[in-house]
Amino acid sequence: MNRRETAEVLFRMQANYRNAFSKMGEESINMLVETWETAFKDHKKDVVVNALIRAMLTKKDYPPTIADVGEEIVALKHPGLCWLDGDQAWAKAVEIAHDVDLRRVVPNAEAEYARSETATKAAQDNYPLVWNAMVGVGGPDGFLEANTTLRAQFIRMYNSYRQRELKRLLIPVSLKTQSERMDYPGIAGLAERGGTHDR
């Protein structure tokens, strides 16, 4: 989105939340437009408008923030990737564990192994965060029996993966590139410089 398109998106939001913008001066409005443009310059206007509308439908008491709209963009571009809550992810993990289970006695072991391999690949492709959390707590075998400790560990790990992936997807590509080029000295470098990065 360019600056003009960003302003159009914000005018749409202003039309729906008049009080939120009524006391803003010209400088504040320019900073608002500039910030939103930076956050969403890697996205097409129609995607941002759709995400804004989705966010406005759920954030009824206040105007959606950049983070609210960003999360909706991630949901639109990556449906299902990050949006299972912990309980839903656990249920999916149990389902996956039963699909990939090789402990059953079957007449055709070769066909059963092929079926299990297909189910494993499908889980890795369709539910990568669930699969990674399953592997992180010891693999699918533990999910075949009810285990509250495993469930708690899995949900904690899944939520950690989910938050990390969400953050990764929210940061615009242009900002990732810029931050990779920054000459940030790290904590040790800041201490050597006397505690500030500006020197």
Q: What is the mean pLDDT of residues 121-141?
A: 87
Among candidate residues 178, 187, 188, 184, the one with its CA nearest the CA of residue 198: 184
| DSSP letter assigned to residue 195 | S
Token pair, residue 84, equals 């299972």
Give the global pTM. 0.63
| Three-state SS letters, 33-61 | HHHHHHHHCCCCHHHHHHHHHHHHHHCCC
| 37 neighbors 3 (Cβ within 8 angstroms) | yes
Distances (CA, A) of 162 to 58, 75, 174, 194, 198: 20, 12, 22, 37, 34
Phi then psi dihedrals of residue 43, to 5 deg: -115, 150
For 39-62, how does the pLDDT look when each residue is reduced to its tens digit (9 = 90+)? 998 899 999 999 999 999 987 778
Among candidate residues 144, 39, 155, the one with its CA nearest the CA of residue 99: 144
| 96 neighbors 134 (Cβ within 8 angstroms) | yes
Q: What distance in Å separates the CA atoms of residue 92 and residue 130, rounded to the nearest whole number?
A: 7
Give the Cα-Cα-Cα angle 168, 170, 175 (nearest 5 degrees): 85
Q: Please say if the pLDDT value at position 7 is more than 90.
A: yes
What is the per-residue pLDDT for 125? Answer: 81
For 98-124, how does the pLDDT look when each residue is reduced to its tens digit (9 = 90+)? 888 766 555 666 777 777 788 888 888
Q: Please say if the pLDDT value at position 81 is more than 80.
A: no
Dihedral of alpha carbons 159, 51, 125, 84, sign: positive
Q: What is the mean pLDDT of residues 10-30?
A: 88
Domain ranges of the chain: 3-77, 86-170
